[in-house]
Amino acid sequence: MRAAAIPRRRCLQALALAGVPALGAAQGVVTIRLSHVVARQTPKGLALERFRERVQSLSQGRIQVVIYPNSALFGDADEIQALQLGAVDMLAPSLSKFGRVGFPEFELFDLPFLFDSKEQVHRVMHSAIGRELLAALERQRMVGLGYLDNGFKHMSANRPLLAPQDFVGLRMRIQSSRVIAHQMRALGAKPVVLGFGETRRALATGVVDGTENPVSNLWTQRMHEVQTDLSLTRHGYLGYCVVVNQRFWNHLPQADRALVRQAMTEALDWGNTIAQYENDEALAHLRLRGGTRIHVPDEDQRQRLRQATQEVSLGLQGRIGRQWIDRVHTLLASKSAG
Ligand code: LMR
């Protein structure tokens, strides 16, 4: 039976109990099972494909990466648990999804209007803050291999979402981030946490009224077929952290760890160079296709959205940790001053 046809929890338990070996029996052959929730033609899908190719090439075929995209094996609800149980070896969840599993400090990346540009995001990721966040993952038996961009998120619904009053009463699908939930409430909407793989159907059936994501994710899931309006609000950032099961990692020979790290660093660097292009292309496709009303808020409108969500940082500083937020502000201010 195909894995996708088995109820997720049973599939997860069966795989974990079967103790799928990390290392193959034959001559140091290694298979890395990598699960993710988005389509191949996205910044994450493409970067992970690149990783697969680089690993294969650097190891001359000895290390193989098997990728399960599009929530085919595990979805948002169970992928981190699957990693911890050893049912998969590697994941690249959005930074937002680490909050729920004991890393609320990762949700600082979700703070609305915190970053004006990806350069600012990268400054944080490449600073001591970013390194400490990666190191913290060991608490939950995960090894963080690096960060990857998607891009800035926009708002989708069956109406323009350009001012706080446009959100009132809407049920908005969100990822499992308390910061994003608070953001939606601050705008007057009701946040509904749903797996990414379930979002399109929930929009189609009216379970939810709208959602947020970078355009590459909306386009490749064909959310435009079930939503009439896209508002280019650029209100928050979406990025990822690649994690590997610690036990799997520790069992790899030192040389293989170095090889996998090198392949991943190259793939993530490359992924960060194409992420913007993929989002621009998705928007171009959307415009060309027609049928979606695309709204670009003016500076006044963005300012009002920013003001309406200002309370989020204050309200969630207890959860994220005030020291993390202060350090990010200090870092961004010091660089922009210099
Ligand atoms: C979402 O759940 O909206 C996104 O995080 C999906 C992804 O991994 O890009």
pLDDT in tens, 180-195: 999 999 999 999 999 9
**CA 217 to ligand 1: nearest atom:** 9
Q: Is the pLDDT of residue 274 over 90?
A: yes
Instruction: Please give the average per-residue pLDDT across 143-170, as a whole number.
Output: 98
Q: Is the pLDDT of residue 66 over 70?
A: yes
- Tell me the backbone φ, ψ of residue 91, rounded to 5 degrees: -140, 165
**CA 174 to ligand 1: nearest atom:** 3
Q: Is the pLDDT of residue 15 over 70?
A: no
Instruction: Please give the average per-residue pLDDT across 229-256, as a whole number.
Output: 98
Of 133, 130, 151, give the one whose Cα is nearest residue 142: 133
Burial classification of residue 62, based on how many CB atoms lie within 10 Å of its CB (0-12 exposed, 13-18 middle, 19 or more buried): middle
Instruction: Please give the average per-residue pLDDT across 209-237, as a whole number.
Output: 98
Q: Which pLDDT tens digit goes with each residue over 84-98?
A: 999 999 999 999 999
Q: Write the residue with the smallest CA distance to atom 6 of ligand 1.
A: 196
- CA 215 to CA 90: how far, in whole Å? 25
Does the CB atom of residue 38 touch ligand 1 within 6 A? yes
Q: How confident is the model at residue 212 (pLDDT cuts 50, 70, 90)?
A: very high
Q: Which CATH class is domain 3-337?
A: alpha beta
Measured in Å, residue 326 CA sits from the centre of ligand 1 at 27
Measured in Å, residue 115 CA sits from the centre of ligand 1 at 19
Assigned token pair, 101: 């599993």
Helix, strand counts (H, E) of the chain: 15, 9
Q: Is the pLDDT of residue 54 over 70?
A: yes
Are 184 and 192 a contacting pair, CB within 8 Å?
Answer: no
> What's the whole-model pTM score?
0.93
Q: What percent of the chain has pLDDT over 70?
A: 91
Does the CB atom of residue 213 touch ligand 1 within 6 A? yes
Q: How confident is the model at residue 337 (pLDDT cuts 50, 70, 90)?
A: very low
Q: Is the pLDDT of residue 4 over 60?
A: no
Does the CB atom of residue 37 touch ligand 1 within 6 A? yes
Of 118, 63, 111, give the one whose Cα is nearest residue 324: 111
Measured in Å, residue 80 CA sits from the centre of ligand 1 at 14
Q: Is the pLDDT of residue 43 over 80?
A: yes
Q: How confident is the model at residue 148 (pLDDT cuts 50, 70, 90)?
A: very high
> How far is CA 54 from each of CA 61, 267, 270, rounded to the nearest angstrom?
10, 8, 11
Does the CB atom of residue 231 touch ligand 1 within 6 A? no
Query: Tell me, what's the pLDDT at 3?
Result: 37
> How far is CA 102 from each of CA 177, 255, 291, rounded to the nearest angstrom?
12, 31, 41
Of 172, 131, 153, 146, give the one whose Cα is nearest residue 90: 146
Measured in Å, residue 238 CA sits from the centre of ligand 1 at 8
Measured in Å, residue 27 CA sits from the centre of ligand 1 at 37
- CA 88 to CA 196: how far, in whole Å? 19
Measured in Å, residue 44 CA sits from the centre of ligand 1 at 10
Measured in Å, residue 100 CA sits from the centre of ligand 1 at 14
Does the CB atom of residue 196 touch ligand 1 within 6 A? yes
Q: Is the pLDDT of residue 26 over 70?
A: no
Q: Is the pLDDT of residue 294 over 90?
A: yes
Query: Tell me, what's the pLDDT at 28?
Result: 86
Are 242 and 34 a contacting pair, CB within 8 Å?
Answer: no
Q: Which pLDDT tens digit goes with each residue over 100-136?
A: 999 999 999 999 999 999 999 999 999 999 999 999 9
Which residues have a Cβ under 8 Å from the Cβ of 93 and sit 6 or more positions away?
Answer: 76, 79, 80, 240, 241, 243
Does the CB atom of residue 150 touch ligand 1 within 6 A? yes
Measured in Å, residue 218 CA sits from the centre of ligand 1 at 10
Q: Can you give the residue ranges of every domain in the chain?
A: 3-337
Q: Is the pLDDT of residue 57 over 60?
A: yes
Task: Choose one of 153, 199, 213 to mutate for the ligand 1 pocket test, by most ligand atoms within 8 angstroms of C-beta.
Answer: 213
Q: Is the pLDDT of residue 232 over 60?
A: yes
Instruction: Please give the average per-residue pLDDT across 230-243, as a whole number.
Output: 98
Burial classification of residue 266, based on how many CB atoms lie within 10 Å of its CB (0-12 exposed, 13-18 middle, 19 or more buried): middle
Task: Choose one of 78, 79, 94, 218 to mutate for the ligand 1 pocket test, by most ligand atoms within 8 angstroms of C-beta.
Answer: 94
Look over the chain and give the mean of its residue pLDDT values, rounded to a whole number. 93
